[in-house]
Amino acid sequence: MTHMTPEEFRRYGREVVDWIADYYERVESLPVLSRSRPGDTRMALPAHPPETAEPFEDLMRDLDRVIVPGLTHWQHPSFFGFFPANASGPAILGDLLASGLGVQGMLWTTSPAATELETHVLDWFCELLDLPGRFASSGPGGGVIQHSASDAALVAVLAALHRVSGGATEHAGVAAGRYAVYTSGQTHSSVEKACRVAGLGSDALRKIEVDPSTQAARPQHLAALLAADRAAGITPALVVASVGATGTGAVDPVADLARLAHEHGAWLHVDAAWAGVAAVAPELRWLNDGLELADSYCTNPHKWLLTNFDCDVFYVADRAPLIGALSILPEYLRNAASDAGAVIDYRDWHVPLGRRFRALKLWAVIRWYGAEGLREHIRRSVALTQRFAGWVASDDRFEIVAPHPLALVTFRLRAGDDATRALMDAVNATGRMYLTHTTVDGAPALRMSIGATLTEERHVRAAWELLAATAG
């Protein structure tokens, strides 16, 4: 057996770095959506693993031969599907440092700098977004990096159950039918998944009606749902408000929902996975309205803020219920620093025990761009989106179906559902752009999500020209 020597690592490392740089230089020439058919990738691979070592060069060759044709290029400047998954040079290199160091930050003592850099950078991030001070680590609250907003929703459910049950659920479990969770129909499927995972079942989830003009949750309907549950002896555990919901980017009235939640003793979690980071720009800080009443909040630098997946930042106003829900201390994890209570052990803030040093990439991004650069990235996406929306609005064949204050426009063809779907399939098939769809008021609508790291005006303009020409 031969480990890769430091000298070999230098050589192959440079090759990989160059390959990635080359990839970014040519990604625009590749079809955005992969043309791969089911089984294509597997058929190009040997059926059995190699018995003996293979040269690294063979892997690099197969990268071009097998892998690249099977990719949908999320970093392509004409990727307008889903929400963006921003990569950036500093994030990639921060992540590389994390891989190279290979430390496990499960406990403070297993690498103090991994824990402290995370706490520190999450405090910085709080300041960058101008989040309420209650989320900073200096008080009873604090932040932690989660894998994804789905994981954040899950731990919010668990913390809420801990608090509302007075700590009983960890031991006794959740009595079926006893607790309820509330969110709008526009909220991400992660909330329903969290209800299932946490043993509440999807029956525990109440869908709050939305205002048809804004797609935002209606507080009056939440009030009615809460009252009905209370009357039926069901305990409201959690209300999830969305700031920038997945379908159309809807923004719920957080303060109103929070006041209602608290009247009934429930936890208020804000899922701002995509949109939250936009608050780096002061003129977009209306996105933070009501957060001073939230019990927890998450947003994903790995979507629209230049930080490679995975990096969801999750904040709580009070860390005690979160830790109460998740802390278990076997003997082999005991240590003096933790016993003294002087440190944070992040393993108690999420489901996994082991954890990668993810703060490095967020630190690298904040330092490379500075607050100024982060604001400019967001502002550029928003400006391009408004320009695109203007073109759509000025074309009578199209209609915009929801407000679009940020970087997502949902629209459809007036010619009908089939025409709308056919338009999406046709432009995606060209390989020159990629966008996805949703349902608004029961009918399909296309989602143009702008904000990939490398998207410039010419890409958005070309996308519109293609859409307009294809709409016929």
- Residue 80 or 369: which CB sits closer to its own copies? 369
Strand partners, 449: 408
- Name residue 32's amino acid: V
Q: Minimum distance from CB of 446 to its own copies (Å)?
A: 11
- Residue 233 or 354: which CB sits closer to its own copies? 354
Contact, 237 vs 181, CB < 8 A?
Answer: yes
Here the tokens at position 142 are 């604090």
Q: Minimum distance from CB of 259 to its own copies (Å)?
A: 27
- Residue 29 or 52: which CB sits closer to its own copies? 52
- Residue 128 or 467: which CB sits closer to its own copies? 128
Alpha-carbon distance values, 334 to 239, 267, 340 (Å): 35, 31, 11
- Residue 222 or 362: which CB sits closer to its own copies? 362
Here the tokens at position 364 are 């690298």
- Residue 89 or 265: which CB sits closer to its own copies? 89
Q: Minimum distance from CB of 340 to its own copies (Å)?
A: 8
Here the tokens at position 178 are 């006893």
- Residue 1 or 231: which CB sits closer to its own copies? 1
- Residue 134 or 188: which CB sits closer to its own copies? 188
Here the tokens at position 181 are 């969770």
- Residue 199 or 405: which CB sits closer to its own copies? 199
- The closest alpha carbon to 255, from 281, 222, 212, belongs to 222
Contact, 122 vs 342, CB < 8 A?
Answer: no
Q: Minimum distance from CB of 280 to its own copies (Å)?
A: 10
- Residue 219 or 451: which CB sits closer to its own copies? 451
Q: Minimum distance from CB of 283 to its own copies (Å)?
A: 16
- Residue 8 or 263: which CB sits closer to its own copies? 8
Pseudo-torsion of CA 216, 221, 225, 227, nearest 10°? 130
d(CA 235, CA 241) in angstroms, rounded, equals 18
Contact, 298 vs 273, CB < 8 A?
Answer: yes
Torsion sign (Cα): 60, 65, 70, 72 = positive
Q: Minimum distance from CB of 228 to its own copies (Å)?
A: 18
d(CA 314, CA 125) in angstroms, rounded, equals 11
Q: Minimum distance from CB of 254 to its own copies (Å)?
A: 22
Number of neighbouring beta carbons within 10 Å of residue 471: 18
Q: Prior bond to 18 cis, omega within 30?
A: no
Exposure string of 347-362, with b = 16+ CB inside 10 Å and e = fewer, is: bbbbeeeebbbbbbbb
Q: Minimum distance from CB of 293 to its own copies (Å)?
A: 25
Exposure string of 228-252, with b = 16+ CB inside 10 Å and e = fewer, is: ebeeeebbbbbbbbbbbbbbbbbbb
Q: Minimum distance from CB of 144 to its own copies (Å)?
A: 15
Q: Minimum distance from CB of 265 to its own copies (Å)?
A: 19
Q: Minimum distance from CB of 318 to its own copies (Å)?
A: 19
End-to-end Cα distance, the chain: 62
- The closest alpha carbon to 306, from 277, 271, 338, 279, belongs to 277
- The closest alpha carbon to 221, from 251, 174, 167, 260, belongs to 260
